[in-house]
Amino acid sequence: MKAHHGMYIGGEWRPAAGADTIEVVNPVDEQVIGRVPAGTAADVDHAVRAARAAFPGWAATPPAERAAKLAALRDVLVARKEEIAETVTAELGSPLPFSQAVHAGVPVLVAGSYAELAATYAFEEKVGNSTVYHEPVGVVGAITPWNYPLHQIVAKVAPALAAGCTVVLKPAEDTPLTAQLFAEAVAEADLPAGVFNLVTGLGPVAGQALAEHPDVDLVSFTGSTAVGRRIGGTAGAAVKRVALELGGKSANVILPSADLAKAVNVGVANVMSNSGQTCSAWTRMLVHTSQYEGAVGLAAAAAAKYGDRIGPVVSAKQRSRVRSYIEKGVAEGARLVAGGLESPREHGYFISPTVFADVTPDMTIAQEEIFGPVLSIIRYEDEEEAVRIANGTVYGLAGAVWAAEEAEAVAFARRLDTGQVDINGGRFNPLAPFGGYKQSGVGRELGSHGLSEYLQTKSLQF
Ligand code: NAP
Ligand code: MG
């Protein structure tokens, strides 16, 4: 694992303005595996200047050439897949096969999709007597979390570059090595200097400086609702564009006609994957009263099977946050049927895959995002109640519906206040818009909807 001691700004690794560093810790064994510079407002300012200087040239580059550069970037991500997977595993703790398939695999699909979209998107259209140009918004400040470290970066940087914007990235303090590897890939793909810049650092220092910088035109943030609210407020006051991908508390609704065993097993796997650190995870399982005990038994057995194979959570802080939710679940009267506070290993930030039954919709564990391997199973009496419970949180990011007939599941899904629903298991689609209703966020990522976030229209009338 190679750590760079500088910031990637204007196409080169430059020394940081200050001397402070951030320790990168492997969550499996709690060992320090590297140090990266803790950026300050001065580093952010250098990076924003570089992005601003590169903007006119990149914006004027024909879309087909931008597409070719993105295709080159995708090819580097393919060539360095193993190194990416190993780096994510080292700093996030996810099992290597999952890092290979998802953390390294999905960004290749997303980068590839934007190479294609940049080449085919209608950046110019005729509307009656007008010609409408879709022009890049300008300099983008991207702030990303640690849970899918490379995916979150690529889901912002690829559409921004496809649109003709330039970018300054502030990645999560827990996973900066993956971000440095991405900067190396940008260099290797020979993108023009300054179109992508990286400043590692702490959220309240480097992140805040980026969100507040007057020469940033659009802030794209993924992370907690608390920080997202602040960033939205700052952007609002400055009248600048903002995209927020925040938390979730998604419902997995199993209708009585569904294949119960399949729905429960896939549902448990969904929550435990990435150790529960997925904003779109289906952390509330809604089961009809007639099938309730059957579902609880199946879920408890499925969770127990995972043991420590899901990997740890990212940090000691995250482990104590998740543990306090488990304590709260017990204190509020939920029935613990798998996992709990006992850690499956002596070292590392491991949490046992945990399942609570008899969770009522008003409990803390049914309302707040836990971001750990914890599933809540909630009972419903009829479809109306299932809709009410599913929609009864401040979030609306994702969800799932299971039924014997697709049409029945679709009819139910249409009643959910949420941005994405998987029908009978669904399949990940890198072109489908991803983003939240309600407090899960503002804006969409992925596909053409994600691209249009980085564009603004100019209409010429004839
Ligand atoms: P977070 O603090 O919101 O972190 C997201 C990003 O924002 C990180 O790069 C972070 O930097 C940065 N940041 C923090 N404070 C900032 C500020 N004042 N101004 C600008 N940027 C700032 O999230 P977290 O602490 O990593 O995790 C907390 C909770 O957020 C989790 O338990 C989970 O519920 C939720 N979360 C959601 C998602 C999602 O995909 N929706 C992802 C991660 C976390 P640092 O890394 O230095 O903090
Ligand atoms: Mg934080």
CA dist 451 and 448 (Å) reads: 5
Give residue 84's pLDDT.
98
**Position 238, amino acid:** A
The residues that are catalytic are 245, 279
CB of 202 sitting under 6 A from ligand 1 = yes
Give residue 120's pLDDT.
98
Ligand 2 center to residue 23 CA distance, Å? 14
Select 251-429's CATH number: 1.10.10.10, 3.10.620.30, 3.90.79.10, 3.40.309.10: 3.40.309.10
In this prediction the pTM is 0.98
Determine phi and psi for 253, rounding to 5 degrees. -95, 115
Coil vs helix vs strand at 410: helix
What CATH code would you report for 6-246+440-461? 3.40.605.10
Determine phi and psi for 36, rounding to 5 degrees. -125, 160
CB of 273 sitting under 6 A from ligand 1 = no
CB of 211 sitting under 6 A from ligand 1 = yes
Residue to mutate (ligand 1; options 144, 205, 224; most atoms within 8 A of CB): 224
Ligand nearest to the CA of 226: 1
Non-local CB neighbours of 226 within 8 Å, separated by 6+ positions = none
Strand-by-strand arrangement of the 12-15 sheet: 12-15, 6-9, 196-198, 166-170, 139-143, 218-222, 241-245, 441-442
Distances (CA, A) of 259 to 22, 401, 405, 421: 48, 11, 11, 18
- 10-residue mean pLDDT profile of the chain (462 residues): values are 92 97 98 97 98 98 98 98 98 98 98 98 98 98 98 98 98 98 98 98 98 98 96 96 97 98 98 97 98 98 93 97 98 98 93 98 98 98 98 98 98 98 96 97 98 98 98
CB of 94 sitting under 6 A from ligand 1 = no
CB of 92 sitting under 6 A from ligand 1 = no
* Domain regions of the chain by residue span: 6-246+440-461, 251-429
Ligand 2 center to residue 170 CA distance, Å? 12
Residue nearest to atom 37 of ligand 1 (CA): 223
Coil vs helix vs strand at 81: helix
Task: Give the position, in ligand 1's atom list, of the atom nearest the Cα of 369.
Answer: 34
CA dist 111 and 432 (Å) reads: 14
Surrounding ion ligand 2 within 5 Å at CB are: 203
Q: Which of 379, 366, 369, 34 is nearest to 227 (CA)?
A: 369
Q: Could you tell me where the DSSP H helices lie in 238-382? A: 260-272, 292-306, 316-331, 364-367
Residue to mutate (ligand 1; options 36, 143, 271, 323; most atoms within 8 A of CB): 143
Give the position of tokens 């599933």: 375
